[in-house]
Amino acid sequence: MRTRVCITIDTEFSIAGAFSDPALRPVAEPMVTCDVAGRSQGLDFLLATFQRHDIPATFFVEALNRQYFKHDPMAAIARRIHGQGHEVQLHVHPCWSVFRHADWRERVRACPRQDDFFGRDEADTLALIRQGMEAFSDWDLPPPQAFRAGNLQHDDALYQALARSGIRYSSNIGLAVFDSGDPRYALYGGRHERHGVIECPVLTYCDWRLGRRPHLKTLTIAGTSFAEMKTLLEQAHRIGLSLVVILSHPFEYIQSRDQDLRHARRHGIAQRRLTALCQYLDHNRDRYTPSGIAAAAIAVAPDHSVARDRPVAPDHSVAPGHPVAPSRSSSPENPLLEGRLLQSLDRLALQATYACYGQAALLATRGGSR
């Protein structure tokens, strides 16, 4: 069986400190184009890389920002991505909805956690999802089939609201980013049904252990080297894992010291990682099928059981490359894959060095080209 690999790009604008500092303003297109010296090192780099290697990707496009950006600059971005044949799916950050109130500053002061889905009332969550779906309709795009919550926050109310909205697929879970503490959502990867919605979590793996205690990491281009990704993909294929979801953002491909990304430089390491990943997937289509996330979720073989709403016991003791034993988990779709310690150490050292080098280079060229 081929393992489907979904590269997912959360495409979003930024509050950029405006909630806490009245002098700052939210930032739109620069968060997505990520221009350096007049060249887009974010979205254009991504689209060109995917095109070169014939990789269909999924862009989870944030749709509530138009509560603030009344001229709706995300519309053109979403249409452009759709025009290149990638899946455009719905991403929602609830924080943008506060801008519909004239007294938004007071509301943010009274309730700073504007961006939480976790603990939000189901009706309120459903209203936010429907606002996002309306944006897709206004943008003349097909209705979204898949959803990703801001900050990967999730709870029962979110899945119930998604089911009521008619959105059938989701990718709301990345345990190293957000862990609700609910064992039913302790999902490392694969595909799982919750409240009638098929959840395809961003892969969470163990990059090193302290004794038997695993250190968890959610798979992103910014945080995982290509060598580590290759190890994980080979392991996933070996154990018959149907799906690996990878998370990224356009701004991972530049380095900047500013909230508005005005002064930035290309992130060579991140760009080389994505290029190497796409090349690897392109050259190994006998084992992997690069795929949009809805296409992957739909392609569940009839005999391939999707784990239902039963609790899935997290298993932190699984041997590298082996699925969780059925007695510990309701599904072989929920293994905790293991990275290699030396590869993790290599990555940590390289990233620390490159971050320092990048900051020094930005300082040296401050005031120069964008």
The Cα-based distances of 271 to 50, 249, 326 in angstroms read 12, 12, 39
Q: Which of these ranges, 2-10, 32-40, 117-125, 303-311, lies near Zn ion under the rule CB under 5 A? A: 2-10
> For Zn ion, which residue has the nearest CB?
10
Cβ atoms within 10 A of the Cβ of 230, count?
15
Q: Which of these ranges, 6-14, 171-179, 202-210, 318-326, lies near Zn ion under the rule CB under 5 A? A: 6-14
Beta bridge partners of 256: 264
Instruction: Give min distance, CB of 111 to Zn ion, in A.
Output: 20
Q: CB-wise, 250 or 339, nearer to Zn ion?
A: 250
Q: CB-wise, 10 or 333, nearer to Zn ion?
A: 10
132 binding Zn ion? (CB under 5 A): no
Q: Which of these ranges, 12-20, 230-238, 321-329, 335-343, lies near Zn ion under the rule CB under 5 A? A: 12-20
Contacts to Zn ion from residues 144-173, by CB under 5 A = 150
Contacts to Zn ion from residues 265-294, by CB under 5 A = none
Q: Write the CB contacts of 118 (distance below 8 Å, at least 6 apart in sequence).
A: 153, 154, 155, 178, 180
Residue 54, amino acid = D
12 binding Zn ion? (CB under 5 A): yes
The residue count for binding Zn ion (CB under 5 A) is 3
Distance of CA 92 to the CA centre of its chain: 12
CB 317, CB 294: distance < 8 Å: no
Q: CB-wise, 270 or 337, nearer to Zn ion?
A: 270
Instruction: Give min distance, CB of 152 to Zn ion, in A.
Output: 8
Q: Which of these ranges, 9-17, 24-32, 205-213, 286-294, lies near Zn ion under the rule CB under 5 A? A: 9-17
252 binding Zn ion? (CB under 5 A): no
Beta bridge partners of 147: 90, 170
Instruction: Give min distance, CB of 60 to Zn ion, in A.
Output: 7
Q: Which of these ranges, 3-11, 274-282, 318-326, 327-335, lies near Zn ion under the rule CB under 5 A? A: 3-11
Using the structure block, give the residue that is written with the tokens 């739109």.
Answer: 28
Residue 306, amino acid = V
Q: CB-wise, 148 or 263, nearer to Zn ion?
A: 148
Q: CB-wise, 128 or 241, nearer to Zn ion?
A: 128
Q: Write the CB contacts of 289 (distance below 8 Å, at least 6 apart in sequence).
A: 2, 3, 4, 5, 296
End-to-end CA, the chain? 46
Instruction: Give min distance, CB of 249 to Zn ion, in A.
Output: 7
Beta bridge partners of 27: 14
Instruction: Give min distance, CB of 127 to Zn ion, in A.
Output: 19
CB 157, CB 272: distance < 8 Å: no
Using the structure block, give the residue that is written with the tokens 């979003």.
Answer: 12
Q: How far apart are CA 108 and CA 27, in angstroms?
A: 18
Instruction: Give min distance, CB of 345 to Zn ion, in A.
Output: 29
Q: CB-wise, 117 or 139, nearer to Zn ion?
A: 117
Which residues make up the interface to Zn ion (CB under 5 A)? 10, 12, 150
